[in-house]
Structure 1
Amino acid sequence: MAGTDRHDAPVELDGSEGEGGGQILRSALSLSLITGRPFHMRNVRANRQPPGLRPQHLACVRGAEAISGGRSEGAAVGASELRFEPGPVRPGDYVLEVGTAGSTPLLFQCLFYPLALAGGGSLTLRGGTHLPHSPSYHYVVGVWLPVVKAYGLNAALRLVHAGFYPQGAGEFIAEVEPVRDPPDRVDLPSRGTLRDIAVGSFVGGLPFGIAERQSKAAVAALRERGIYSHAENRPLPVTHSVGTVTFIMAQFENTIAGFTSLGKRGLPAEDVGREAAEEVARFMESGGALDEHLGDQILLPAALLAAGKLGASSPGTTRYTTARVTDHLTTHAWLIERFLPVRVTVEPGGAVEVAPA
């Protein structure tokens, strides 16, 4: 099912479009593997400093090559132009290194859909698991994965070692399952009643008291806003990486949302906990069914459903509301429409629809 829409001419992409970051490259790689369509990208990560390919983005290119036998031109650190031609994605077991503080969750999300569509397999990913500007491992497991399950997609994830900035040195294993029967439609117009708020406070290689301070501050900050929660403090297995994280998961009647705050040198543990709680409060003040990150990340499975890539489905539409319309969301919509016969409509107020073109 992956790699079947052959076209002679590559998809031409401008990497400075919209948010102009690494997301354009990662999603282009994923969509290229799924459709079999090569692409040519200029101005890679033009809106980032430094621009061009960085080691973590190069790892995504190498990962796409590994699972498909694909070929690239220009794949080097600092490059501003890249050509990628996919091969057929092969089910199997793959071990991939992102390097130091590169994001393993982002590499996983890049390769998950093509591998699932090809019949599944195993990904052992080594690098960072809890990093700034990236979904954390706990977000992927607690929020992203339950939502993609609604599309007939699934994986079993196991954290071997946590990896924090700047050392990385984390690892997790993902057993990716083949696609199952897709839904006819996915509708998430509202989040519904709040059912549970769980505060998870984690430390790796640092005193356990830090986790207790983080969670205590998070619970107190939520209570001040009339939001009641329960907390769990846990150590994370690490090698030579150290760090802390507060992850708050909000379970609603219809949806799930997640909020991550990472510790860093010089930042009091209490501030880490309060930061995650403040993100929850901001989300509660919005009208979105999905948090802004999930509102972006759900676009790809929604587009696969609309394009018939997950199997026969009618009408194959997805409708939802997001807490905030971000540049990531609108850029992702633009990119998806370049590869798949779908129409993505994003309203200024946060209503999103993904439908067959």
Structure 2
Amino acid sequence: MIQSQLGVDESNAGLVPPLYCPIPSVLHPLHQSVADHTLRWAEKMGLMAEPETARKIQAMRAHEFVCRIASDAQGQDGLDLMSQWLCSMLAIDDEWDAGRLSRDPASTLLKVIKLLATINVPQALTDDDDIYLAIVRDVFIRAREWAPAEAVKRWADSQLESFMGAATFVALRAADRPMSFDEYLLVGTLDRGTRACIDLIAVVERTCVPQSELSAPRVLALTQAAKFLVLCAADLGSYYREMNHGGQESSIVDVLRRERGSSPHQALTETVRLHDRTMCLFLNLSEKVTRHAGPELRRYVTQLSNLVSGNLEWGFTSPRYTAEYPLKPAVSGYQRADRPFDGRLDALPYPAISWWWEQL
């Protein structure tokens, strides 16, 4: 039970407690074929040229993330697209977090501008030999052939959020300027690419919910809650990796520890509490939205649920986050908590998110 695990002494400060998530996660049956296609594509695009990068790409198991969050996809083409995109974006994310761009805001922003230009107009910048421009060109040309135009447009637009979140972290790191918790609530979900993941599932599964339904306050609160759950699980799942790389300033755990003067164990406990409390909200909002929804909106709620659960499972089992770090051995499955650490449905006291609970 999670509460007893959180009550242990500080000698267990390095242990990430289990999270509450009763939503099942399954792998798409084509996951192994998607893995094979992804690695062949990465080699063709030049991502595997350096041995260290090749090792990291293999450890990502991007196909597993994709085949969990888009487990209802029909056919393989969309899954291949999504896995290949994720593979390349995680590679560039490593450059922003701990690589050559990690403290260079100017170069990061220029790269972002070029990436966005190529995403929106693949015919642009064809004389630039940057490998990542070639990658986004390849993926978005195929995406526009595969999915509804409106779904691809939303996904393209969502990249601005992801890239600006990453660039914000680079700028703050370069200025040695820590982020407050309220600021992290705004920036963290951008950097984690949460909106991009939601929109990408729609591309893979070729769905498109009308904007009028997505903009309804209760649906918007449900979407934002899903993003926050992804953020918490991602930060906890990558806790050891970030600690190893010295990049914990981009983790909710470290932001809480710094701002409140708490121990790592206390910050981990608080993150679990925030996650589980929001999970209970998400489950209740999902039920309320689904009760009166049409088929498109019901499918959207399912997609959000698959994202929340699939991200949790992948983040705690992928070798990207488990295999290299002595405090955290690789595991074949993630043991979830059987009840929430904090299951109250009272609003959390943060202006950026407290309004979600008003939609119950």
Q: Same fold (TM over 0.5)?
A: no
Q: Which has the higher contact order (CA 8 A, sep 6+)?
A: 2
Larger strand share, 1 or 2:
1
TM-score between the two structures when normalised by the length of structure 1: 0.30
TM-score between the two structures when normalised by the length of structure 2: 0.29
